[in-house]
């Protein structure tokens, strides 16, 4: 996975001090609030031997950015629970793969699509692996999921629906579902259209002849014998036990059955599941268990405000994000306001990167209460790293923009000249950020750069600024430079100095926004900035030079 590093500790070693406990008791961060729901759940009865957190995964395709978000958020709630309970209650995070689902369509961008078409309708763990690497397509995608989660260092247990159904882990609950078939149908039928109601059954038998998952009505039920009877695909009446992996449940009853069978205490899901949350809970109760505490998060939007869809490809993938920024910046995006719909597109990346380092820089000087309000505490499970980040991602992007730097050495030439002693060896995280900035600029900034010519007033202002910069000398610091930029704007009687700074960005950098201009000039160099001004006045800023 491109650029990924661990953001989670396999065994969090956070010392829960009295000061931390006192701060945690007051913390109103969303993950602490969710953790308190679990504590309240057992206020009267006492905790079970283990508190179970669960998240589900559909292995019909590769893991995606939503998978990261759900497991990251779940891990944050789990860690908050550990702190609130002073880690006295054992917890588990179960990552459950619905790999017994029938393959409904052949995924795009996989080899051997014709071979896969022959196995449509079969459980994913009975479909051959088109890559030829694993026992089945389901096993292949499960391996990708585990590799994906392991890359980020998440602490979790993997569970396979196929394994749980075939091993008998669900048998007791499936038999109870058969006994209470009518009660489950009473919950499900009002949620279905008239045509579907006529043939619906919560049980999906797996044809002993074709191996496909069958959506067929039941002809007879035998709760005492634990069997169902139906017509197979060839019309022959067939009787199967509901145990031992012969059948699976439709996805909504399966949700509730799994909660009941496993004793799930906390589950989160996207807003698209919210209308069904009550259905899952009712079925869980019918099967004799208490539904888990549930957290509904908002869905992501694309750059046009439309819901992101894997099939449309209108969002950003995990690999794309990690090509331009660190997993910590993505974790920050996931942590902040999970109940608010947010645009998940390439233009949010620079802000997330800079916000992450701003929060990290603030953390060292904060007391226990403020630290728990700082996102980096939650992202790093109470152990944020100490990182010296002398430059922002935004500043690096503008430096790349002005210099047309195409490799790290060019940018490091500017950085070390401005900050002697700061090198790629002494600041490896900054070096990583330099690489991200170059890639991001090439792919998203450079194609859209549009320089404009200065109007007569702006030409006069630029000439005035050039003179002021010449008078400063090459060793002037950022503050002195910024003062002269302000002075030039005031002397030219700009009513709104924002217009003056925007003009500088548009004329010299080919964009509408930019960094604090004095800091940029100090880093880029006064002489080079004066060259930019000269090129702008000569009408030749389509290509900047180093």
> Right CATH number for 393-537 from 1.10.10, 1.10.287, 1.10.3470, 1.20.1080?
1.10.10
- Domain 1-167+298-387 top-level CATH class: alpha beta
* Residue among 506, 509, 502, 497 at smallest CA distance from 544: 509
Burial class of 26 by CB neighbour count within 10 A (0 to 12, 13 to 18, 19+): exposed
pLDDT in tens, 435-457: 999 999 999 988 888 899 999 99
Whether the Cβ atoms of residue 237 and residue 229 lie closer than 8 Å to each other: yes
The tally of CA atoms less than 13 A away on the side-chain side of residue 456 is 0
Chunked mean pLDDT (size 10), the chain, 546 residues:
52 76 94 98 96 92 83 97 95 97 88 94 96 95 92 94 98 98 98 94 98 98 98 98 98 97 97 94 98 95 74 72 95 96 92 97 96 97 95 93 88 92 96 96 89 94 96 90 96 93 93 88 93 91 49
pLDDT of residue 7: 63
Q: Would the pTM of this model clear 0.85, i.e. be above it?
A: yes
pLDDT in tens, 134-144: 999 999 999 99
Long-range contacts, stretch 489-498, CB < 8 angstroms, 24+ apart: 489/461, 491/464, 492/457, 492/460, 492/461, 492/464, 494/461
**277: its two tokens:** 């949350």
Spatial CB neighbours of 9, under 8 Å, sequence gap ≥ 6: 153, 155, 381, 383
Rounded to whole angstroms, the Cα distance separating 469 from 481 reads 7
**b/e sequence 63-87, b meaning 16+ C-beta within 10 Å:** bbbbbbbbbbbbbbbbbbbbbbbee
Whether the Cβ atoms of residue 124 and residue 110 lie closer than 8 Å to each other: no
Full strand arrangement of the beta sheet holding 220-222: 220-222, 227-231, 237-241
Query: Would you say the CATH fold of 393-537 matches that of 1-167+298-387?
Result: no
Identify the helix (H) or strand (E) that includes residue 8: none
Compute φ and ψ for 57, nearest 5 degrees: -145, 130
pLDDT of residue 358: 98
Rounded to whole angstroms, the Cα distance separating 500 from 486 reads 9
pLDDT in tens, 74-100: 999 999 999 999 999 999 999 999 999
Whether the Cβ atoms of residue 162 and residue 125 lie closer than 8 Å to each other: yes
Domain ranges of the chain: 1-167+298-387, 193-248, 393-537
* Radius of gyration of the chain, Cα coordinates, nearest whole angstrom: 29
SS3 for 374? coil
pLDDT of residue 1: 52
**55: its two tokens:** 């998240």
pLDDT of residue 5: 55
Compute φ and ψ for 271, nearest 5 degrees: -60, -25
Whether the Cβ atoms of residue 177 and residue 253 lie closer than 8 Å to each other: yes
Residue entry with tokens 């389901």 = 138
């Amino acid at each position: 996975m491109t650029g990924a590093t661990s953001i989670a500790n396999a065994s969090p070693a956070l010392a829960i001090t009295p000061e931390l406990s006192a701060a945690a008791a007051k913390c109103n961060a969303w993950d602490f609030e969710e953790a308190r729901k679990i504590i309240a759940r057992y206020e009267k009865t006492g905790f079970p031997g283990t508190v179970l957190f669960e998240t589900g995964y559909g292995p019909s395709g590769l893991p995606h950015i939503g998978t990261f978000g759900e497991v990251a958020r779940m891990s944050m709630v789990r860690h908050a629970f550990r702190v609130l309970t002073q880690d006295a209650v054992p917890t588990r995070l179960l990552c459950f793969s619905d790999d017994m689902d029938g393959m409904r369509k052949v995924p795009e961008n996989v080899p051997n699509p014709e071979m896969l078409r022959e196995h449509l309708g079969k459980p994913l763990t009975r479909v051959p692996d088109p890559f030829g690497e694993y026992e089945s397509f389901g096993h292949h995608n499960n391996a990708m999921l585990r590799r994906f989660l392991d890359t980020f260092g998440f602490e979790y247990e993997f569970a396979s629906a196929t394994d749980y159904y075939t091993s008998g882990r669900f048998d007791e609950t499936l038999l109870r579902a058969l006994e209470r078939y009518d009660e489950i149908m009473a919950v499900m039928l009002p949620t279905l259209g008239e045509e579907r109601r006529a043939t619906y059954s919560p049980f999906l038998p797996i044809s002993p002849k074709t191996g496909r998952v069958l959506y067929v009505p039941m002809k007879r039920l035998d709760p005492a014998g634990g069997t169902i009877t139906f017509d197979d695909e060839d019309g022959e009446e067939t009787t199967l036990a509901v145990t031992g992996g012969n059948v699976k449940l439709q996805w909504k009853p399966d949700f509730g059955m799994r909660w009941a069978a496993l004793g799930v205490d906390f589950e989160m899901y996207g807003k698209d599941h919210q209308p069904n949350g009550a259905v899952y809970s009712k079925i869980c109760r019918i099967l004799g268990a208490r539904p888990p505490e549930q957290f509904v998060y908002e869905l992501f939007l694309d750059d046009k405000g439309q819901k992101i869809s894997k099939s449309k490809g209108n969002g950003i993938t995990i690999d794309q994000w990690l090509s331009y920024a660190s997993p910590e910046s993505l974790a920050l995006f996931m942590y902040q306001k999970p109940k608010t719909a947010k645009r998940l597109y390439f233009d949010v990346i620079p802000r997330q990167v800079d916000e992450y380092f701003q929060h990290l820089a603030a953390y060292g000087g904060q007391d226990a209460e403020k630290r728990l309000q700082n996102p980096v505490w939650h992202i790093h499970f109470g152990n944020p790293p100490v990182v010296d980040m002398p430059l922002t991602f935004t500043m690096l992007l503008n430096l790349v923009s002005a210099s047309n730097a195409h490799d790290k050495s060019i940018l490091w030439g500017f950085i070390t000249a401005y900050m002697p002693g700061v090198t790629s060896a002494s600041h490896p995280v900054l070096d990583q950020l330099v690489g991200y900035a170059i890639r991001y600029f090439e792919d998203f900034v450079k194609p859209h750069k549009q320089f404009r010519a200065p109007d007569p007033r702006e030409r006069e202002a630029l000439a005035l600024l050039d003179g002021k910069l010449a008078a400063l000398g090459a060793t002037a610091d950022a503050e002195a430079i910024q003062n002269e930029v302000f002075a030039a704007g005031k002397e030219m009687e700009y009513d709104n100095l924002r217009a003056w700074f925007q003009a500088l960005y548009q004329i010299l950098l080919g964009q509408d926004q930019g960094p604090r201009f004095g800091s940029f000039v100090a880093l880029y160099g006064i002489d080079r900035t004066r060259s930019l001004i000269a090129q702008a006045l000569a009408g030749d800023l389509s290509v900047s030079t180093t």
